[in-house]
Amino acid sequence: MPKIYLYRAPVDFKKQANGLALLVEQELDHDTFSGALYALTNRQRNKIKCVIWEDNSFVMYYWSGPTKVDTYLSSIKLLRIWVGG
């Protein structure tokens, strides 16, 4: 089970996995190649993107729902999007 970190500030969701990983490196001073999972939300808090390093590329999980993430966590469905590799 990887360590899980929540980036609490709203993030521009036009960024893809590499851009989000760079943001985590710069803002949190974390090594994004460590295998930890980083969860980020948009300003409205109705979307989640998670980024994790697996094998030789970043993997991004994305969830979007009609209500705020805080009230909808029980039915999260993540879509696995392979990036790179």
Sequence ranges of the domains in the chain:
4-82
pLDDT at 74 over 90: no
Spatial CB neighbours of 33, under 8 Å, sequence gap ≥ 6? 53
* Interval 72-78 mean pLDDT: 44
Of 4, 2, 11, 3, give the one whose Cα is nearest residue 49. Answer: 11
Residue 52, pLDDT score: 93
- Return the H-helix or E-strand segment holding 22: helix 17-28
> Any residues with CB less than 8 A from the CB of 19 and at least 6 apart, and which?
none
Query: 60: how many CB neighbours lie within 10 A of its CB?
Result: 23
Determine the 3-state secondary structure of 40 from DSSP: strand
pLDDT value of residue 19: 93
Q: What is the pTM of this model?
A: 0.75
Contact 65, 40 (CB under 8 A): no
Q: pLDDT of 12-71, one tens digit each? A: 989 999 999 999 999 999 999 999 999 999 988 888 899 999 988 899 998 887 666 555
